[in-house]
């Protein structure tokens, strides 16, 4: 989808039991080389206590990812805890296209059905990486770039860009 020369770094801040599945499916779909690393940064542990001790500011994670981008086209962070941004109680993910970094939270994606859990995580990862590629939210209810305000929204969409978004990628 992007090109075979794309290099993506996935940084986990927690132990992610479905990391290999995410890495495989995202890499296959976007056709990019992926390296995965774990980063238990001390600042992350401190920021986890913010917002009533349950949520972390997604922007704090993006700031930690920027210096790790060296040598990679994009960086995707993955955390287990809930994320928020000012003025929103929670976010499922966040991207900073100017810095080519993004983050997703698995906190609300959990399911007793492992396949559904993996599908949700892959969709969120591709969605945030889509923002890094310059794609905005899409009105197509099946497109991975459709805005998701809740987990049921994620379940309704595909794990792919719609034709319109693919055309935008190729422009």
Q: List the one residue out of 56, 46, 50, 22 whose CA is nearest residue 36.
A: 22
Q: What is the pLDDT of residue 50?
A: 47
Start-end of H helices in the chain? 19-30, 42-47, 58-65, 114-132, 151-156, 163-170
CA distance linking residue 160 with residue 64, whole number of Å: 28
* 128 is a catalytic site residue: yes
Q: Which residues of the chain have pLDDT under 70?
A: 1-4, 40-55
Q: Which domains does the chain have, with CATH numbers?
A: 7-170 (3.40.390.10)
Condensed to tens digits (0 to 9), the pLDDT of residues 101-114 reads: 999 999 999 999 99
**Of 21, 124, 128, 163, which residue is the catalytic one?**
128
In this prediction the pTM is: 0.91
Q: What is the pLDDT of residue 46?
A: 47
CA distance linking residue 25 with residue 34, whole number of Å: 11
């Amino acid at each position: 989808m992007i090109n075979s020369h794309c290099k993506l770094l996935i940084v986990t801040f927690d132990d992610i039991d479905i990391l290999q599945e995410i890495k495989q499916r995202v890499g296959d779909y976007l056709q990019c080389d992926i390296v995965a690393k774990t980063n238990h940064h001390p600042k992350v542990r401190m920021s986890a206590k913010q917002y009533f001790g349950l949520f972390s500011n997604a922007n704090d994670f993006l700031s930690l990812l920027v210096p790790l981008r060296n040598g990679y086209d994009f960086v995707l962070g993955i955390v287990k805890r809930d994320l928020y941004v000012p003025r929103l109680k929670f976010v499922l993910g966040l991207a900073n296209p100017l810095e080519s970094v993004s983050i997703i939270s698995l906190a609300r994606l959990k399911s007793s059905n492992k396949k559904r859990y993996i599908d949700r995580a892959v969709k969120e990862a591709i969605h945030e990486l889509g923002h890094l590629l310059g794609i905005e939210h899409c009105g197509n209810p099946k497109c991975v770039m459709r805005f998701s305000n809740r987990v049921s929204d994620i379940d309704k969409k595909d794990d792919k860009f719609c034709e319109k978004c693919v055309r935008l990628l190729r422009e």
